[in-house]
Amino acid sequence: MTNPESGPEMVAPTRAEAPDGAAAWVRPAPPMKAPAPRVTRRMPRWSEVRELVQFRRPTADPVRRRLEGALTIGDLRRLARRTTPRAVFDYVDGSADEGVTVARNRAAFRDVTFLPEALHAVKDPDLSTDLLGRRISMPFVFAPTGYTRMMHHHGEAGVARVAQRNGLPYALSTVGTSSIEEVHEAAPEGDNWFQLYLTNNEALNEELVDRALAAGVTTAVLTIDTAVAGRRLLDVRNGLTIPPSLTLQTFLDMSRFPYWWVNKLTTPPVEFASLRDFPGTSADVAALLFDPGLDYDDLAWLRRRWPHNLLVKGVLNPADAERVVAMGADGVVVSNHGGRQLDRTPATLHMLPAVRAAVGPESTVILDSGVTHGQDIVAAMALGADAVMAGRAYLYGIMAGGERGVERAVEILRAEYQRGLQLLGLDATSKIARHHVSIPGGEAWPPSDRRPEGTWPAGSWV
């Protein structure tokens, strides 16, 4: 007998007599194992098989087919690379110099750690939030981007329609390829913003402000991090410069995409639409927009001239954020231009808490640069943002499938955001708090305002 608590039975070897009379140890054969129980088999019913084998319904629409297979923004990026000329894709995907800032932006989000709460009902969470006096469906703003109709002929008008349908703001760029008036016509009920490059031409500045007001723009966004253009090496190598200087390789690559070419040649020309009446070449326009003379006096002029919400975009330094708010700005967009201007700047997520502390709780703070996942939105909100801006995320969508691709990008981000909120144990955007996240080198959990005196020593949650 074996002791059931001491493990399996051990069979001791036995002593046997060898032919020559010497003693030998012989291990007996192990006991026979019991036969496996017999399996009863039967013919399956079709109803049971049908439940297990259900195929996706095929579609003849190639755009729908590829978008349905896109489950992440990364999937949309891969589709965009397959459906768009390489030079155009590189314009969206590329960065300044060595791409250090782009890598830092993404690494900052990846390094976030979430701490969920348990046993909270999270059915039907409320994703909406208040931003600049309006209720929006989730804390997301379509960032201003240039040359959007170069990526797909639906362009800015298509993006504005998606934003209107989803109850989200859309910011048109001064270097957009659709005009302020065209965007207003496409989305007359939308929360339309206008990103403004103040030029060294005062008459043109006045005209742009007047047109934005006439088109019902609710928020002006002054970009301040473009004193000169960033050095984007992929664009230079591809010849996608101002003016263009395409290489033979770039031209041959573009010839592989006839659908793209046909749409470019049979729709209105790609141009700086809001500046189409400005005399001069595209190089003259670029020289006008990148003004190294921009200073605080220009901000003061715009604040006097613009009667509605005013945000300043391109702020990283908390001292700058504090000063622009003191001068009358309604808030700031913490941005490093998506890593497309000065390289080696800090990740915007890392600067966000300090900027929020500098401007206080009443000013609007939006985080831009690096947002490619719905959980990035959760992290930004927990660290002090009122909303996020993203450009590349939806541009991958428009390259992959036009307006429908932009819609798919929103669906992906919304689903990821909702799932992240629910898995944190929250049923509303308003319940996201600082103690739900930690970043490397950040404050211990819980933060000092939530920590009972004498408990939770620093470093317990970093």
Asked about 120 being catalytic, the answer comes back as no
Of the candidates 172, 213, 205, 407, which has an alpha carbon nearest to the alpha carbon of residue 306? 213
Which has the minimum average pLDDT: 30-39, 369-378, 405-414?
Answer: 30-39
Quote the pLDDT of residue 16: 55
Give every CB contact of residue 185 below 8 A, 6+ residues apart in sequence.
Answer: 157
Quote the pLDDT of residue 459: 34
Quote the pLDDT of residue 24: 57
User: What does the pLDDT average to over 104-113?
Assistant: 97
Dump pLDDT digits (tens) for 304-339.
999 999 999 999 999 999 999 999 999 999 999 999
- CATH code (residue 434): 3.20.20.70
Question: Does residue 291 lie within any of the structural domains?
Answer: yes
**Domain range holding 408?**
62-438
Which has the minimum average pLDDT: 100-114, 247-261, 361-375?
Answer: 247-261
Alpha carbon 209 to chain centroid, angstroms: 29
Position 243 confidence tier, pLDDT thresholds 50, 70, 90: low
* Residue whose pair of structure tokens reads 């960033």 in the numeric block: 230
Question: Does residue 335 lie within any of the structural domains?
Answer: yes
User: What does the pLDDT average to over 416-425?
Assistant: 98
Quote the pLDDT of residue 78: 98
Q: Residue 173 — φ and ψ, nearest 5°?
A: -85, 150
Quote the pLDDT of residue 26: 63
Alpha carbon 62 to chain centroid, angstroms: 25
What is the C-alpha separation between 283 and 307, in angstroms, rounded? Answer: 32
Question: Does residue 444 lie within any of the structural domains?
Answer: no
What is the C-alpha separation between 230 and 341, in angstroms, rounded? Answer: 4
Please check the confidence at residue 455 and state whether its pLDDT lies above 60. Answer: no
Summary mean pLDDT of the chain? 89
User: What does the pLDDT average to over 124-141?
Assistant: 98
Q: Residue 88 — φ and ψ, nearest 5°?
A: -70, -45
Of the residues 152, 337, 350, 373, only one is catalytic, namely: 337
Position 21 confidence tier, pLDDT thresholds 50, 70, 90: low
Please check the confidence at residue 29 and state whether its pLDDT lies above 80. Answer: no
CB 129 within 8 A of CB 396: no
Position 17 confidence tier, pLDDT thresholds 50, 70, 90: low
User: What does the pLDDT average to over 156-168?
Assistant: 98
Please check the confidence at residue 448 and state whether its pLDDT lies above 70. Answer: no
Please check the confidence at residue 3 and state whether its pLDDT lies above 80. Answer: no
Please check the confidence at residue 15 and state whether its pLDDT lies above 60. Answer: no
Position 23 confidence tier, pLDDT thresholds 50, 70, 90: low
Could you tell me which residue, 397 or 272, shows the higher pLDDT?
A: 397
Helix (H, G, I), strand (E, B) or coil at 187: coil
Number of domains in the chain: 1
Output the pTM of the full model.
Answer: 0.87
Quote the pLDDT of residue 421: 98
Verify cis geometry, omega within 30 degrees of 0, for the bond prior to 30: no
Please check the confidence at residue 279 and state whether its pLDDT lies above 90. Answer: no
Residue type, 222: L
How is residue 8 annotated by DSSP?
A: S
Q: Residue 15 — φ and ψ, nearest 5°?
A: -90, 135
Question: Does residue 193 lie within any of the structural domains?
Answer: yes
Question: Does residue 30 lie within any of the structural domains?
Answer: no
Biggest distance spanned by C-alpha atoms of the chain: 119
Quote the pLDDT of residue 344: 97
Please check the confidence at residue 28 and state whether its pLDDT lies above 80. Answer: no
Quote the pLDDT of residue 179: 96
Quote the pLDDT of residue 18: 53
Please check the confidence at residue 230 and state whether its pLDDT lies above 70. Answer: yes
Quote the pLDDT of residue 257: 93
Question: Does residue 50 lie within any of the structural domains?
Answer: no
CB 257 within 8 A of CB 85: yes
Q: Residue 61 — φ and ψ, nearest 5°?
A: -85, 110
Question: Does residue 150 lie within any of the structural domains?
Answer: yes
Quote the pLDDT of residue 458: 37
Dump pLDDT digits (tens) for 365-409.
999 999 999 999 999 999 999 999 999 999 999 999 999 999 999
Quote the pLDDT of residue 32: 77
